[in-house]
Structure 1
């Protein structure tokens, strides 16, 4: 199940990353908080490249590197969370999230993505067993 979960998360990140660079570019720009001191298009393009890299790493990394990839991916999900909060707070419509309720519900899925990255790569298990 872990391998399927890792591959699915990798594929989702690859798809989202390609979307950052192509058809969903404007949608993703809507999530860049106004307080970020960088051009929103640059942020979207850079995060898309990172997502493609993470997606590829989740799928292709040798097993000894998977826990590290899991922690990096989880950290990425934490790092982009302010964009989701900003979308909720500012009431910005994007990705079909056109109500405050929909934007709020989405916030609760980010911790699941973090957990998914840690579980599917064995990162959490490796961290727990390192002291044993």
Structure 2
């Protein structure tokens, strides 16, 4: 399925963002990401950060390089963004300071960016189009 030049640029930018974010999970931002893991999650928080970081690196690289499968990668990235949203909600509800989000307003505003990421993943990969278009 063909995408426009703007969609391709947006897909590559999102892929780079995800790759960087995933690498930062595993290195210099590990503590910040640990603060976002919901307390109710039945998995070790550090393992959650490592696994989600690995998934982000994989998805980021797939968005950039797996062009033949970009539609499915976009759908998978959108699902991933939905699955990690509880971490953002937990940060807001539990008033956890991380990533410079140290006020309720800052944490609340961040919640509205998750749907943008979901739509970005779907739009930039043409995942919202029917197969025959």
* TM-score (normalizing by structure 2): 0.94
Distance 1:93 1:35 in 2: 18
The number of residues matched between the two structures is 128
Alignment-derived partner of residue 131 in structure 2: 130
Alignment-derived partner of residue 16 in structure 1: 21
Within the candidate set 113, 117, 122, 1:118 is matched to: 122
Q: How far did 1:62 drift? A: 2.6
* Dislocated runs of 4+, deviation >2 Å: 129-132
Q: How far did 1:131 drift? A: 7.1
| Residues 1-132 of structure 1: pairs in structure 2 closer than 5 A | 1-63=6-68, 65-125=69-129, 129-130=130-131
Which runs of no fewer than 5 residues in structure 1 stay unpaired? none
* TM-score (normalizing by structure 1): 0.94
Which runs of no fewer than 5 residues in structure 2 stay unpaired? 1-5
- Give CA-to-partner distance per residue, 1:55-103, whole Å, 9 cap, x none: 000000133x111000000000000000000000000000000000000
Distance 2:101 2:78 in 1: 23
Q: How far did 1:130 drift? A: 3.5
RMSD: 1.1
SS at 2:128 equivalent = helix
